Amino acid sequence: MAPGVEVRVLAAQVLDAVVHRGRSLKSELAAALPRLPDPRDRALLEAIAFAALRGRYRYEPALRGWMQKPPGAHEGPLLALLLAGCAQLDALQLPAHAALDATVEAARALGRPHQAGLVNALLRRAQREGFPPADPAGAWPSWLRERIAAAWPAQAPAVFAASAQPGPLWLRVNRGRIAREDYRARLEQAGLAAETDPRLADALRLDAPVPVAALPGFDEGLVAVQDGSAQQAADALAPEPGARVLDACAAPGGKAAHLLERDPALELLALDVDPRRLPRVEDNLRRSGVLERAQVRAADATMPALWWDGFTFDAILLDAPCSATGVVRRQPDILLHRREDDLAALVQAQARLLDATWALLRPGGTLLYATCSILPEENAEQVDAFLARTPDARAVALPEEFGHAAGAGRQRLPGEDGMDGFFYARLRKAD
Ligand SMILES: C[S@@+](CC[C@H](N)C(=O)[O-])C[C@H]1O[C@@H](n2cnc3c(N)ncnc32)[C@H](O)[C@@H]1O
């Protein structure tokens, strides 16, 4: 199969799994990308998949309107291939003949030769007539759109707009291995310009994305990819040198690695309830050169009787499971998969995690509650309710550089300061 055709075949398979079978974009791409040896083909596959998911709210109604009969339940692969075709013509503006030929050929390669003519006709019509104008709010399910508009009336249009655009590439320089300015010079030698940000001591920002393989010293752990908002966790928690730290929800390990890069003398226990995610934690810590400093364990943080040794922690990072509504620009499939019913369960799980981990904190210790959500139920309201039922907890204010004041914490909205949406609240236990 010609490589251009294989990219379209894989794009259709990834999109079919994500759109019609509830699979995550990240895991589907992780499985599909290694099948393409050429990095340019891998970049194209990613670009098509992201653009198709971001534009689906415009492409799908137009396609359905142009079809003579509605596609049946077994037509998932056809619809997915058509979405991939629309993304190439519209968002990616690929030369029409190449995009059309390869996508029509992909219909044959997908075992649908009888639909190659239909794919050709529909994509030619898309090319001629185009799609309705973009309305980034239209990509969000109405229940989420309404909650965000109610919580952030002035900022909601900017939230929707930022969530429809790819973010910059934020790097975290491993200060245990190289000074940031020295790494910036290495990037420059490789032809990559990077900016610093006054809020972030270890960060460099590249406005044009590059594959990690193009980053000097990536494999040796000189640098990792981590959004600026996520890098602020280390500043907000700021454990004392050599402190005993619990990272209660650690996978894939980005924040644990950052804490240890800053202070290899920390005594850090990284927990995650999902054992399948622990190899990623270990890989990330190993690449950063800090794996032997950490203890990594599969365990449920809400059930300390099963794993806790009885010694309290000086500092706890609770980077809780959440709706991920602050990172839609990096994971557009969140808008497909999130259900209103999930939210109540997440809010309950977060409350249980707060109560259970609070009991493990020493008097005078700090717990940092963090989410990549922008919904008050998971953030300001969650922390207010915790403070109301926990007499020995008080909030310690975070500075403005963490975003808008939101109850006892701070909220950055997606795209603000070029970063992901994130919430942080710093909680201190009475002595
Ligand atoms: C937002 S992610 C953490 C990201 C991580 N801190 C980082 O910076 O790379 C939330 C994690 O919480 C884990 N989790 C959910 N419930 C948990 C529980 N009860 N105990 C421990 N981990 C849990 C999930 O498996 C998921 O990996």
Answer yes or no: is the C-beta of 321 below 6 A from any ligand 1 atom: yes
Q: Is 254 annotated as a binding residue?
A: yes
CA 233, CA 422: separation in Å to the nearest integer?
Answer: 10
Residue 256 CA to ligand 1 center (angstroms) comes to: 12
- For atom 25 of ligand 1, the residue with the nearest CA is 274
Q: Return the C-alpha torsion angle 366, 196, 257, 317, nearest 10.
A: 20
Ligand-binding annotation for 392, yes or no, is no
Does 272 carry a binding-site annotation?
yes
Protein residue with its CA nearest to atom 11 in ligand 1: 249
Q: With the CA atoms of 339, 340, 341 and 342 taken in that order, what torsion angle do they form, in degrees rounded to the nearest 10?
A: 60
DSSP-assigned letters across all residues of 308-370: --SPPEEEEEEE-----TT-TTT-TTHHHH--HHHHHHHHHHHHHHHHHHHTTEEEEEEEEEE
> Which pLDDT tens digits describe the chain residue by residue (431 residues)?
887 999 999 999 999 999 999 999 999 999 999 999 999 999 999 999 999 999 999 999 999 999 998 888 889 999 999 999 999 999 999 999 999 999 999 999 999 999 999 999 999 999 999 999 999 999 999 999 999 999 999 999 999 999 999 999 999 999 999 999 999 999 999 999 999 999 999 999 997 889 898 999 999 999 999 999 999 999 999 999 999 999 999 999 999 999 999 999 999 999 999 999 999 999 999 999 999 999 999 999 999 999 999 999 999 999 999 999 999 999 999 999 999 999 999 999 999 999 999 999 999 999 999 999 999 999 999 999 999 999 999 999 999 999 999 999 999 999 999 999 999 999 999 99
Q: Is the peptide bond before 241 cis (omega within 30 degrees of 0)?
A: no
Q: What is the pLDDT of residue 120?
A: 97
What are the structural domains of the chain?
3-134 (1.10.940.10), 169-225 (3.30.70.1170), 228-429 (3.40.50.150)
Q: Read off the amino acid at residue 421.
A: G
- Which residue's alpha carbon is nearest to atom 1 within ligand 1? 321
pLDDT of residue 117: 96
